[in-house]
Copies of this chain bind each other. A is one copy, B any other.
Amino acid sequence: MTAASEERVPAGAGGSSAAEMYALVERLYPLCRSITGDGVRATLDIVGEYLPLRVHEVPTGTQVLDWTIPQEWNIRDAYIADAAGRRVVDFRASSLHVLGYSVPVFARMPLSELRAHLHTLPEHPSWVPYRTSYYTPTWGFCLAQDTLDALPEGEYEVRIDSTLTDGHLTYAEHVVPGQVPEEVLVSCHVCHPSLANDNLAGIAVATYLARELAAREPYYTYRFVFAPGTVGAITWLARNRERVGKVEHGLVLACAGDPGQLTYKRSRRGDAEIDRVLRHVLSSSERPHRITEFTPYGYDERQYCSPGFDLGVGSLTRTPYAAYPEYHTSADDLDFVSPEAMADTLAVCREAFAVLDRNRRYVNLSPYGEPQLGRRGLYDSLGGRSDAKQAQMAMLWVLNLADGTHSLLDVAERAGLPFDAVADAADALHGAGLLKA
């Protein structure tokens, strides 16, 4: 697999991080993650090799908003064995084979009785589904319909060697300090077992995004949260009620490596700055893409955009939540994601945060008539020509709209100019003392 993926890495820029992100996905793929337990710890240990992480352990029973941290689930082994003792379903082959959070079981029973505990996907008979039962104690196995169909009636031994005990919920944070304390939150869920796109690709893109951001001193402080879905995000919110007020923008990263086009799902607000930035970056690029409205379903934007918080947090995926057949099945494997797709997702994040970091509101200090740009060396000296250059148009637009209400992105969109040209013009005017931030 590694060899194959390296062949797929393009020669140009980004090839290096593309290959490295893919390699990280490969390392994380075999682990059996859940909303608690050692699988999450092992995942964060690996990510921690790429990025210093602060790991938090929150005890079972802790009240987090409306929820309570559940018992910790760990699993050593699980199988269904036939009368001959042959494992016909084996956890060692794939972490998906066990219903997530299964209570322990060790029993013999006829297939007729076992069937109530078996989950298949009849419409994709060779795929194993991913299923969990976090808050209702039960046990089960997930397997291919083909496998099930081939099982003769008769007695089977079933064993799930799991524990559900008081322990902890584990999540981690990485902070890239910025020039200002206001924060951008990047959140990805780490609770899914062997599913490559959902969400190992998101974890890998977030990891490399954090490394890139650290390499330049960003304007905003960027906080990366690697946490189990739903209860993990709720835990982070519960423990950061004060900090939430500083989170001005955010992005939930998921499904970052599949071959589909990029999809940005707006925040609940619909017109938050992050929404406008992503729309601008995606529509300015030549990428095919989709912008979709907020829905209270999907990933942890559900929590960040709950009405009490209502944060400006959108969600970036390639093919979105539940919109591809491989979703939550064994077909979401290492072949389903590619270095190129992850590099493309990373590039859009890079471009979006570059815009976000420069997107200020300025006030024109010489707002009555145009200031004389010529004597400040900011204007072409030969008049009468009709080919006003983009840089000069950008300066005129910034001066005209710099009334404290329009952001530079507003200016770029109204002017139909590239954001960078507008931000460069603002820098030049600011340097000449014509603008204040």
* Interface residues, chain A, with chain B CB atoms under 8 Å away: 65-67, 100, 129-136, 230, 233-234, 237-238, 268, 293, 295-297, 302-303, 305-309, 321-322, 327-328, 364, 366-372, 374-375, 381-386, 388, 393, 396-397, 399-403, 414-415
Chain A interface, >50% SS class: loop
Which residues from chain B contact A382 at a C-beta distance below 8 Å? Answer: 131-133, 136
Residue of B nearest to A234 (CB): B369
Is B65's CB under 8 angstroms from A383's CB?
A: no
Is B100's CB under 8 angstroms from A383's CB?
A: yes
A135 to B383 CA separation, bound complex (whole angstroms): 9
Tell which of B297, B383, B397, B399 touches A133, judged by Cβ atoms closer than 8 Å. Answer: B383
20 contacts between A and B (CB under 8 A): A65-B369, A66-B370, A66-B371, A66-B372, A100-B383, A131-B382, A131-B383, A132-B382, A233-B369, A238-B369, A293-B414, A295-B415, A296-B393, A296-B396, A303-B369, A305-B400, A306-B367, A307-B367, A307-B401, A309-B368
Query: Shortest CB–CB separation between residue A47 and chain B, in angstroms?
Result: 23
Pairs of residues from A and B, 8 with the lowest C-beta to C-beta distance, nearest first? A308-B367, A322-B386, A308-B368, A296-B400, A136-B381, A296-B396, A132-B383, A66-B371
The copy count of this chain in the complex is: 3
Query: Shortest CB–CB separation between residue A319 and chain B, in angstroms?
Result: 12
Which residues from chain B contact A237 at a C-beta distance below 8 Å? Answer: 368-369
Is B67's CB under 8 angstroms from A399's CB?
A: no
Tell which of B233, B364, B374, B396 touches A136, judged by Cβ atoms closer than 8 Å. Answer: B374
Which residues from chain B contact A293 at a C-beta distance below 8 Å? Answer: 414
Query: Shortest CB–CB separation between residue A297 and chain B, in angstroms?
Result: 6
Tell which of B67, B381, B396 touches A302, judged by Cβ atoms closer than 8 Å. Answer: B396
Query: Shortest CB–CB separation between residue A415 and chain B, in angstroms?
Result: 8
Tell which of B364, B368, B400 touches A268, judged by Cβ atoms closer than 8 Å. Answer: B400
Residue of B nearest to A236 (CB): B369
With A308-B367, A369-B303, A370-B230 in contact, do A135 and B67 touch (Cβ < 8 Å)? no
Tell which of B135, B369, B384 touches A306, judged by Cβ atoms closer than 8 Å. Answer: B369
Is A384's CB under 8 angstroms from B100's CB?
A: yes
Residue of B nearest to A140 (CB): B382
A393 to B321 CA separation, bound complex (whole angstroms): 14
Is A66's CB under 8 angstroms from B364's CB?
A: no
